[in-house]
Chain A
């Protein structure tokens, strides 16, 4: 479904990604784990059109999307839940969800998906008229995910959904990630919480300073000594 081949991405003069390649197949949950500053967020930003690769190719459903505008990438079916949620704090919960469906014209489909989002996240329904800036961190994460689902994506990019959340909320969010996946959305999940990420993923990549250093099934990585030592707290 998604094929990233040998891309270089720069932030000004600093090279954030160095010849990175990875693949995501339809129906999978693929996770990308790595430390702070490894380039995980940069990769997602490149996929969603906020960053342009200097070299290499990004293919999605057989078409090149490298360097395309964010707008056309959303239209093609890739939704990105950014790091730090980035909800529109000055808008209500429902307005945020409306904006998720910004490019869609099918009114009935939108209404159906809105009802579905409220089913997945009943908390959002309770707070639909509330300014989203007043939500808790976990609720904002739910809103950011709900907003992305409103675009009806085929591929969902999740950047650190567990960041700053209480353990119970993290459980909750990961359960919902699995549900979304079962309903047919492919997921590329970026996480620092390698333990949680590997427990839901089919396959995984380990990213270090802009390069993929390890790849395999989630199970293989869970059992790999290197991953255990570096990302799973030596358990």
Chain B
């Protein structure tokens, strides 16, 4: 251990000591609620990857669009939180399907790198189209609660965190239900395993892929709205960093695996919050990417992934 590492070790130890148990619980809740935003975005990444093996880098921008729809709905059109959330989800679902049909569908049989480059192009197109029409300035989200915090058993918890967590959990349960129990969910799982065999069942593969985009994009839209509520502002480039972090979360959980994206997102949120709580808030964003590098080196298949060789 060199001198500088030694000093770092002690400053971490001091920082840990300085934070009380109650505060740790608060931070844990903050972390989980931030993480649930990442998880909602990561779900779209992982579902789309599962079904067409594409990392949809425009997914973060669907999230941004959701944030703006939520803003306009609540501030300009005076809608409540829940109607605004639903509106953002519906419009983002439609938007996601349009992106898939216009940009990705025709590339389904081309190389993966072609589709990936297209996804990056779509991402930039969405960002700068938004800038073109309304400028790059941020917009402020309204405060949902007058009284910001609530005390439960001596732990101060922000109401926003609870709201975010509640919305995310409801949406994730709904998603699990759709994927596990409904006909379209079974079709999605079948197509992601073997598209041709799914065709032999009479499954319409194109529609199933569109449905996957619709569901993933609706979740990203919801994440955009609750992100706006959490950070109280939205801007045209807000999708970039959360998008990348959600990608990290998806890889961390095991890309293509739905529970993996949920756990990966939560875990990432908690790690980030703890890194900040320890006083290293400047390192917060780096933490996510350090995790990405470590997971790619030591367990590239992710937490839930099985170590399978790729079929040729």
Contact = CB atoms under 8 A, between A and B. Distances in A.
B177 to A, nearest CB: 15
Contacts of B190: 88, 91, 99
B186 interface: yes
A86 B196 CA distance: 9
Given A88-B193, A88-B194, A90-B193, A70 B199 contact: yes
B129 interface: no
A50 B186 contact: no
A74 B193 contact: no
> What DSSP secondary structure best describes chain B's contact surface?
helix
Interface string A69-103: 01100110001101000111111000100111011
B200 A90 contact: no
B75 interface: no
Contact of A74 (B187, B189, B201): B201
Interface in B180-208: 183, 186-187, 189-190, 192-194, 196-204
A144 to B, nearest CB: 9
Interface range, B side = 10 to 19
B202 A88 contact: no
Contacts of A102: 183, 187, 201-203
B197 A82 contact: yes
Contact of A151 (B183, B189, B199, B202): B202
B254 to A, nearest CB: 13
Interface of B: 183, 186-187, 189-190, 192-194, 196-204
Given A49-B199, A86-B197, A102-B203, 16 more contacts: A50-B199, A50-B200, A70-B200, A71-B199, A71-B203, A80-B200, A82-B197, A88-B193, A88-B197, A91-B190, A95-B186, A95-B189, A102-B187, A102-B202, A103-B202, A148-B200
Give the 5 A-B residue pairs with the shortest CB-CB distance, closest first: A74-B202, A86-B197, A103-B202, A70-B199, A102-B201
